[in-house]
Amino acid sequence: TILSQRTTQQDEELAYQELRQLGDWDAIIAAPTEAVAHAIRRSNYPESKAPRIQATLRAIRDERGSYDLDFLAELPVKDALKWLTALPGVGIKTASLVLLFNYARPVFPVDTHVHRVTTRVGVIGRMGEQAAHRALLQLLPPDPPFLFELHLNLLRHGQKVCTWVRPKCPVCVLRARCDAHAIYGNNVPSFGEK
C-alpha cells in the first residue's frame, strides 16, 4: 500500500514484483536502503518510500513477531486504524485501504481522486483529505462491499473523467448533479483553484 502512494497501479505492481525479488520480508529489511529504492524505482518517490517500507516492516515484526496482520480483522475499527497509523509512513488513507481491501472493514479510503470528485460534486465542502475521511464515513452506510465499490468507482471516475486539470464535463455521468458544473459549466477549473 505504501508503494501505491502517488503511483499508477501498473507501476506499483512492477515495483512490488521487483521488491519481492530481494527476498522475503526479513531480506527486504536487511537490504541496503538504496537497493530497496532501486527495486521500487518505478513507483514515485522511491527514495522516501524505501526507508518507510523497511521501517514499517521492522515495526510490524518487532511488535507482532511476524508479518501477519490478520489480527486486524478482529480489532474494533477504531483500534485497527490507531494501530496501523502508528506505523511509520502509514496515514489514515493507507490504513483505510488495508482495512477495507484486505479485511472488508467498514472504512472509506479517501485518496486524491475520491477527495476531488466528492468535493466538486458537492458531497462534502472544501476540506483536507483527513477531514474528508471523517465527513464521508459519517455520510455513508457501514457496508464494506458498498464502500469498496464506491471507492473504486470514484477513483476511476477521478482518474478518467473528473481529472485534476480540465475535467471532461461533457461526458460526465454526474454532470447534472455536480455543484462545480452548475457553477462553471464545462469550464470547471483545476482542482484547488477558485
Alpha carbon distance 101, 109 (integer Å): 10
Does the annotation mark 49 as catalytic?
A: no
Alpha carbon distance 151, 97 (integer Å): 10
DSSP letter, residue 194: -
Alpha carbon distance 35, 19 (integer Å): 9
Q: Given 78, 93, 168, 194, which residue is catalytic?
A: 93
Q: How many helices (H) and strands (E) does the chain have?
A: 10, 0
Catalytic residue numbers, as ranges: 93
